[in-house]
Structure 1
Amino acid sequence: MKVLITGAAGFIGSHTAERFKDMGHEVIAIDNFSDYYDVQLKERNASTLSKRGIEVSRLDLRYDPLDQLVSDCHMIVHFAAQPGISASCTFEQYLTNNVIATQRLLTAIEPLQDKPYFINIATSSIYGLHATMTEDQAPLPASWYGVTKLGAEQLVLAYSRRGLLRGCSVRLYSVYGPRERPDKLYTRLIAAGLKDEVFPLYEGSEKHLRSFTYVSDIVDGIVSIIDREEICNGEIFNLGTEEENTTATGIAVVEELLGKTIRKEITPPRPGDQARTCANIDKARRLLDYDPKTTLHQGLQKQIDWYRESFLN
């Protein structure tokens, strides 16, 4: 099977590309190498994929021709997006990267006789400040990120409802692990601990509850859609762990594994940040046999080991 993975030089996209390759599939990988964070980190991921026989092409879904890209693919896994909740990003950046880019990809697929199956990668931010709901409950996004990711998801599902393609959407919960973006909690925390730097902690965030989910458990859920395409068509799935931990607990685990106390500086809270995420995965368990197993201690030890090997050796 030929699989197109967008955003393949990113955190979760690169892990997913490797998994499909390991399963024996042909992987077509693209990324626009956005400078939202250090491009060298994406280039590092692309280099890692290249050593595995996966070449990441530089392509921007917002502007570049897409007809040839999608013409003979069997499946598309669509990660490419403007990620996260950031005051430095404009609404236009979220709109063009998340909605317009997705629409251009769908438009390129529409005239094909044999259309690829479309797996849209969404986020628990769609649910809003308290992401504890089932997939059939009304979402209440509270950030531009959540609003535009919901828009992208509904575009894909609209195509499915109209019979223009087969596809589904997966909403991911608080993913962490090796290659995590530098603006995310654990990469920043681990870097501060290992370099003896001050960690900036958003005011009140230590009380936030999260379904911190290790990246390989997320990839397990994505690839489980293979051979279940029909029952997944038009559906939404939450992918994450049912285990909840506060940010304070996550910080304590990192400090325990590093054997040191990390100095912290309180900074203003982020508008639209979620107070609680708790993945309800009953549907994914039932239809995908989804069963995340990695504990927070296990996953964070792997992320610490990766950080040491990648940046301190």
Structure 2
Amino acid sequence: MRILVTGAAGFIGSHTSERLSDMGHEVLGVDNFSDYYDVKLKELNARTLSEKGIEIKKIDLCIDDLSSLFEDQIDYIFHFAAQPGIAVSSTFNDYISNNFIATQRLLDAIERLDDKPFFVNIATSSIYGLQATMTEVEAPMPASWYGVTKLAAEQLVLAYSRRGLLQSTSLRLYSVYGPRERPDKLYTRLIDCGLNDKAFPLYDGSERHLRSFTYVQDIVDGIVSVIGREEVTNGEIFNLGTEEENSTATGIATVEKILQKKIKIDHKPARPGDQSRTKANIYKARKLLQYDPGTSLEDGLREQVAWFKENFK
């Protein structure tokens, strides 16, 4: 199949693109190479994909003409492109534009096609709010601009399915980590601080936060499992993550164990909208997608530390 991946130079998008290519699919990637974080990391990911024969076009879904993406038949879309996280540097307009408007423009381009691809929307556990422990049928209560706009984008995609305009599914991901993780995320920052003798910024109370830290390859297993299951996934939402909970304090201790070094801590005020607990309820994904994540936190972090040392140390 010919598959379009948006946000293909990003963390999870690049891993998914690579997996799809290894599965024998033809992958076309798009990314706007945003400077939200150091573009060099996206360029590194893009080079890795290019070596595997995966083309990445520099396209901004918010403003550029998208017709070139559909000159040849596209069978599937995996939509990762988004404004991530809850950074204070991101404005509400950033989230509206990159999470909602970009999705709407992509859907608008698809609506004009005679043969429409199956649309896989990549959502987030932030949709649920401060306590992300719910099933897919419970009411979301997002507490951040990120969560609000990702929920809006998800519902827009599913609205197209409800109206019979295309087939789609939405996957809510939980606390993904591993090689290529963004530099603003927990474990990349911890590893960087530990290896380079920097102080790690720890937000007040966050050491007690509980997370379903999920290794990226386990997440990709769930994402690609949608292929071939269109009948059971169309119009549906799935949680993807590990059922194992670990605190931020445990995460810090695990990185210190792997590095065999104590990490300096710089205490910061609490961040508004930050989740206090996530625990992935994956009963539905286990039943319908045969999803079964199994990588331990320590094993996954050892892989991430090795990747960081190879590329940045």
TM-score (norm 2): 0.99
SS in 2 for 1:85: coil
Report the Cα offset of residue 7 of structure 1. 0.2
Report the Cα offset of residue 160 of structure 1. 0.3
| In structure 1, distance between residues paired with 2:98 and 2:2 | 24
Equivalent positions of 1:85-234 (< 5 A) are: 85-234=86-235
Paired position in structure 2 for 1:68: 68
What are the Cα deviations for residues 264-304 of structure 1, in whole angstroms up to 9, with x where unaligned? 01011111000000000000000000000100010000000
Report the Cα offset of residue 70 of structure 1. 2.9
Query: 1:62, 1:96 within 8 Å by CA — same for their partners in 2?
Result: yes
| In structure 1, distance between residues paired with 2:76 and 2:151 | 21
How much identity, in percent, do the aligned residues show?
70
- The aligned amino acid for 2:19 is R
- The aligned amino acid for 2:68 is Q
Paired position in structure 2 for 1:36: 36
Report the Cα offset of residue 66 of structure 1. 1.2
- The aligned amino acid for 2:91 is T
Paired position in structure 1 for 2:307: 306
SS in 2 for 1:136: coil
| In structure 2, distance between residues paired with 1:198 and 1:138 | 39
Report the Cα offset of residue 230 of structure 1. 1.2
Equivalent positions of 1:289-304 (< 5 A) are: 289-304=290-305
Residue 24 in 1 paired to residue 39 in 2? Answer: no
| In structure 2, distance between residues paired with 1:260 and 1:89 | 33
- The aligned amino acid for 2:183 is P
- The aligned amino acid for 2:5 is I
SS in 1 for 2:165: coil
Report the Cα offset of residue 99 of structure 1. 0.2
SS in 2 for 1:30: strand
Paired position in structure 1 for 2:283: 282
Structure 1 unmatched runs, 5+: none
Report the Cα offset of residue 65 of structure 1. 1.0
- The aligned amino acid for 1:64 is D
| In structure 2, distance between residues paired with 1:270 and 1:75 | 37
| In structure 2, distance between residues paired with 1:67 and 1:258 | 48
Moved more, 129-138 or 60-69: 60-69
Report the Cα offset of residue 260 of structure 1. 1.1
Equivalent positions of 1:215-254 (< 5 A) are: 215-254=216-255
Report the Cα offset of residue 67 of structure 1. 2.2
- The aligned amino acid for 2:205 is G
SS in 2 for 1:169: strand
Report the Cα offset of residue 224 of structure 1. 0.4
TM-score (norm 1): 0.99
- The aligned amino acid for 1:37 is Y
Residue 47 in 1 paired to residue 47 in 2? Answer: yes
Query: 1:32, 1:59 within 8 Å by CA — same for their partners in 2?
Result: yes
- The aligned amino acid for 1:15 is H
Structure 2 unmatched runs, 5+: none
| In structure 2, distance between residues paired with 1:224 and 1:164 | 23
Report the Cα offset of residue 246 of structure 1. 0.3
Query: 1:67, 1:109 within 8 Å by CA — same for their partners in 2?
Result: no
| In structure 1, distance between residues paired with 2:267 and 2:70 | 46
SS in 2 for 1:219: helix
SS in 1 for 2:251: helix
Residue 3 in 1 paired to residue 3 in 2? Answer: yes
| In structure 2, distance between residues paired with 1:53 and 1:69 | 17
Query: 1:153, 1:169 within 8 Å by CA — same for their partners in 2?
Result: yes
| In structure 1, distance between residues paired with 2:281 and 2:44 | 34
- The aligned amino acid for 2:175 is S
RMSD value, Cα:
0.6
